[in-house]
Amino acid sequence: MKNQDWEIPPNLQPDPGDYAYDLERALNAVVGIKSYVPSDAFTAGTLGTERAGSGVVIRDSGLVVTIGYLITEAETLWIACGDGRLVPGHALAVDTTSGFGLVQALGRLDLPVLEIGDSDAPKVGDAVVFAAGGGRHHAIETKIVGRQEFAGYWEYVLDDAFFTAPAHPFWGGGALIGKDGKLLGIGSLILQQGDRRGRRLDMNMVVPIGYLTPALPDLLTYGKLRQPPRPWLGLYATENEDQLVVGNVVDSGPAEQAGVHTGDVIVSVSDEEVTDLASLWRRVWACGTAGAGVRMRLRRDGTTVTVTIRSADRASFLKAPKLH
């Protein structure tokens, strides 16, 4: 479980003397997460059966926030403290809308709590710290280089996401810490973007912690949001030269059952043209709640095909966490 065979280059690590808050204390609130998922789980094929990343202690009770894909369908889960202790945990909740996951420690963590900050306040250009579990050697000084909408191929949209560079190489579940020493967001992805000179810039996409605050009561009480689930198609789409192309469909998922094929070009949803991923998913969600029919016009081999997909609740395909 301990992962000490890597570290951020010393010149990129944060120097405690440069910060007005107690950097070491803040970094001690960032833990390692290791989860084990059954081989027959819905997400085993795409996310693997062993997943590792980080999380952040946000309550004295041992509540840890992480990124949801690390703990989705987890059967066994361990929390690694900076002093080498391993504490069992329980996958308490995953919010597919925001992407957050919650873990409850099943033993005493005896670690500092990182206070939730105001993720609306940071601006492009602000200096921040991005930390994985393991202390200062696993943390990087970075900057917010973008704040904008983000849409993912897996039926996911954030109205506002942080983009930071230089990128952290072990981003999943890591903590984005603001200049006041408070938690601004949780690491989700690494993205590559080319500049005009052909150089590649690696960036992390970070989910702002402000998305967690309104959802937290429901997640703690019910393990999910109480609002009706969004319609889910089981469809992966990509933007390709001003077209939306079906990259894949989930086996036995709603899109496959409706006859959607890999390679289909998506033209419209409910007779409204869609030109990018964000507009595609928002139009699908506007069709109603899970179970609603989603009428989609596709272009396939030079012909137009219209299908109606009977959407589903994504959570119904997932294994529920086992209670300990």
- What single letter denotes the amino acid at residue 294? V
What pLDDT shows up at residue 136?
96
- Tokens, residue 146: 């973008």
- Classify 176 as helix, strand or coil: strand
- Tokens, residue 265: 């070009």
- Tokens, residue 58: 């946000």
Number of alpha carbons in the 13 Å side-chain half-sphere of residue 142: 30
Nearest Cα to Cα of residue 120 among 182, 200, 44, 168: 182
The residue with tokens 């086996």 is 251
What pLDDT shows up at residue 323?
60
Instruction: Catalogue all structural domains in the chain, each as residue range(s) with its CATH number.
Output: 10-113+216-222 (2.40.10.10), 127-210 (2.40.10), 235-317 (2.30.42.10)
What pLDDT shows up at residue 192?
86
Residue 163 near residue 142 (C-beta atoms within 8 A):
no
Q: Is 290 exposed, middle or buried (0-12, 13-18, 19+ CB in 10 A)?
A: middle
CB under 8 Å, gap of 24 or more: what pairs does 159-162 form? 160/208, 161/205, 161/206, 161/207, 161/208, 162/119, 162/122, 162/205, 162/206, 162/207, 162/208
- Classify 314 as helix, strand or coil: helix
Residue 262 near residue 248 (C-beta atoms within 8 A):
yes
In angstroms, rounded to a whole number, what is the distance separating the alpha carbons of residues 24 and 41?
Answer: 38
What pLDDT shows up at residue 3?
47
What pLDDT shows up at residue 195?
64
- Show the DSSP H helices in the chain as ranges: 23-28, 44-47, 212-222, 254-257, 277-285
Give Cα separations from 251 to 3, 159, 234, 314, 317 (angstroms): 35, 29, 8, 13, 11
Q: Is 89 exposed, middle or buried (0-12, 13-18, 19+ CB in 10 A)?
A: buried
The residue with tokens 């179970």 is 291
Q: What is the pTM of this model?
A: 0.94
What pLDDT shows up at residue 322?
66
**How far does Cα 46 stand from its chain's mean position?**
14
- What single letter denotes the amino acid at residue 88? P
What pLDDT shows up at residue 101?
97
**How far does Cα 92 stand from its chain's mean position?**
16
Start-to-end CA span in the chain (Å) = 21
Give Cα separations from 75 to 16, 34, 174, 210, 312 (angstroms): 38, 11, 22, 28, 24
pLDDT in tens, the chain (324 residues): 444 579 999 999 999 999 999 999 999 999 999 999 999 999 999 999 999 999 999 999 999 999 999 999 999 999 999 999 999 999 999 999 999 999 999 999 999 999 999 999 999 999 999 999 999 999 999 999 999 999 999 999 999 999 999 999 999 999 999 999 999 999 999 998 766 677 778 999 999 999 999 999 999 999 889 999 999 999 999 999 889 999 999 999 999 999 999 999 999 999 999 999 999 999 999 999 999 999 999 999 999 999 999 999 999 999 887 665
Residue 57 near residue 102 (C-beta atoms within 8 A):
no
- Show the DSSP H helices in 168-276 as ranges: 212-222, 254-257
Peptide bond into 88 cis (omega under 30): no
